[in-house]
Amino acid sequence: MHMSRHLVAGLTALTLTATVAIPAEAEQAGSGFPSSAFPLGVSVAPVKNQQNVAPGITLFSVKHGKSTQGWTVSALMPNGHDAGSLVTAQTVAQAVEAAGFIPEILKVVQPAAADAPSVERYMVRTGLWSFGQRAKADKVVKELKEFDVRAKTDYLGDDGTETTGPWDMRVLMVNPKVFRGSFKTSVGKSVAKRETTSSMSKLTGAIAGVNGGFFNIHTAKALQGDPVGVSVVGGRLLSEAVPGRSGLVITQGRKAHITELKTTVTAISSDGTKTEVNGINRAADADELVLYTEEFGGKTAADGGIEVVVDAAQDKVIKVRQAGGIVARGTYLLHGTGLMAVWLQEHAQGTWMKVDNKVIDLRTQQAIPLTPETYIMGGGVGLVRNGRVRITAAADGHASINMMLRRHPRTMVGIDKSGGLILATVDGRNPGVTVGASMVEAAQLMRWLGAKQAINFDGGGSSVMVVGHKAVNRPSDGAERTVGDGLFITP
């Protein structure tokens, strides 16, 4: 196909870097909405309205800023990422130029986290259009494709550099002096399957809630509800921790704190032999021992391994069977593959089998009591510690340009100085309506809202806040996404 050469005005060279300005302490006494200016964009008070949801629970709708940015075209690196090394970017820029466009190489700086240094990468872009001219950018993307250059239309408000917004947020504040209910996490009807936050809200009989931590999209579809990280529901450990990652811990039904966690799970056979259990309610890898509880809700894999069926109330071995099947109510399974299948055959033929579960708070090195009023949710990124911005991006598995610098919808949870819970969602991926937040901006927002401790939960299309079992924000997928777990405020 013959194509005419197009010259598109080049972007002025600039460096994309996030300014990490730490806002002043929020001017507020205990629980309550801050009177200080919005910490992002133009420094003025935001437009907000509030609604009393229940005694001690207030919902705030917060809007701030306006759209002043437009579109560009970003050429993708060979690995599909937005940014790469300078050498890779130069090669991509040559391909863009060969297609008849003027490329611009931009240095992108991923901001430093508490546990990760700043990182320099390079993007290749061409063209600059106003907000109403998106179709022109889309046309360039198609024309580049004709020359085997993969590219995408990029909204400049997503970059993580300075922006005027706008932002659209929902904030739930719980005043501990007035609120008489409790906080709970839920995995829904089962661990294995994903479901919407509003569905879990109904199941839990919640007043309000938000989506929870990250879930495993890199497993069989029927198992994708498995949380990536620790999950405790009503004192029952349903998913193992990724050691050292941040989590929200609820004890005595309503006392919340944020800390780093690890789990130790040990199988003890009636002959006195002990061994480590590698995972809970997830697919087993080679030579692994995985515990499946009755909350699993799926079928275990017929992977040639061995399963021991145990009466949960009496720790009595019911039978040893070939792997593959359901977990009957009142039982749990120990599922072994490879060397661990051999271990089960050698040590599980006795009369009983016990599993010892511990969740360790790594700040105190103490085990958290797993009572029926204990709920723990992991898989997040630490944002605020002791009133200061402290982003644990590397430990929590999110030290990347996409997660640290780019703006996305976010779900955040914080605890203020009086022990009150703050739940917040900031909508994003909606150019001209709301830009979302980078990880640094998420921390700044929580600190502004008065959080002394704060954590980031799953964002993007997962971000949702429900009140009365209905979404009160606008999820970026256009409808509620099914997720792994959720955090709820219950009567």
What's the pLDDT score for residue 292?
A: 98
What's the pLDDT score for residue 227?
A: 97
Distance CA 126, CA 105 (A): 9
What's the pLDDT score for residue 181?
A: 97
What's the pLDDT score for residue 31?
A: 56
pTM across the whole model: 0.93
Ranges under pLDDT 50 in the chain:
1-15, 17-30
What's the pLDDT score for residue 26?
A: 38
- CB of 273 within 8 A of CB of 334? no
